[in-house]
Chains A and B, each alone.
Chain A
Amino acid sequence: MNLFRTPKGTSAIAEERLKLILVQDRSLLPPAKFEQMKEDIVDIMSNYFDFNTADIVINIQRESKKTLLEAIIPLLSVKRKTR
Chain B
Amino acid sequence: MGRTIVVTAGKGGVGKTTVTANLGALLTKLGNKVVVVDMDIGLRNLDVVMGLENRVVYNIMDVSDGKCKINQALVRDKTLPGLFLLPASQIHTKKDINIDKIVEIISIIENSFDYILLDSPAGIEKGFESASAPAKEALIVVTPDVSSVRDADRVIGILENRGILAISLIVNRYDINLVNRKKMLNADSVVDILGLDLIGMIPEDKSVIESTNKGELLVNYANGSPANKAFENISRRIEGEDVPFLNFNSQRRGIFSLFRRR
Chain A residues engaging chain B, CB cutoff 8 angstroms: 1, 3, 7, 9-12, 14-15, 17-19, 21-22, 25-26
Chain A residues in 8 Å Cβ range of B153: 22, 25-26
Q: Is the CB of B145 within 8 A of A14?
A: yes
Stretch from B104-112, B162-170, B182-190, B213-221 that touches the partner: B182-190
Query: How many residue pairs, one in A and one in B, have C-beta atoms under 8 Å apart?
Result: 41
Q: Taking the nearest CB of chain B, how far is it from the CB of A82, in angstroms?
A: 35
The count of residues in chain B whose C-beta lies closer than 8 Å to any C-beta of chain A is 18
Cβ-closest chain B residue relative to A15:
B189
Q: Is the CB of A22 within 8 A of B150?
A: yes
Chain B residues in 8 Å Cβ range of A3: 259
Q: Is the CB of B150 within 8 A of A9?
A: no
> Within the complex, which residue of A10, A12, A18 is in contact with B193, where a contact is CB–CB below 8 Å?
A18
Q: For the A-B complex with A1-B261, A7-B181, A19-B193 known, give 12 more contacts whose Cβ atoms are closer than 8 Å.
A: A7-B261, A9-B183, A10-B182, A11-B183, A11-B189, A14-B145, A14-B146, A18-B149, A18-B185, A18-B193, A21-B150, A25-B154
Chain B residues in 8 Å Cβ range of A9: 181-183
Q: Taking the nearest CB of chain A, how far is it from the CB of B160, in angstroms?
A: 12
Q: Is the CB of B150 within 8 A of A10?
A: no
Interface positions, chain B 181-206, Cβ under 8 Å from A, are 181-186, 189, 193
Given contacts A1-B261, A21-B150, A26-B153, contact A15 B193 (CB under 8 A): yes
Is B80 on the interface with A (CB-CB < 8 A)? no
Chain B residues in 8 Å Cβ range of A21: 146, 150
Given contacts A25-B153, A26-B157, contact A11 B146 (CB under 8 A): no
Is B179 on the interface with A (CB-CB < 8 A)? yes
Closest 3 CB pairs of A and B: A9-B182, A11-B182, A15-B189
Cβ-closest chain A residue relative to B189:
A15
Cβ-closest chain B residue relative to A10:
B183
Q: Is the CB of B183 within 8 A of A25?
A: no
Chain B residues in 8 Å Cβ range of A12: 182
The residue among B150, B179, B182 with the most chain A CB atoms within 10 A of its own CB is B182
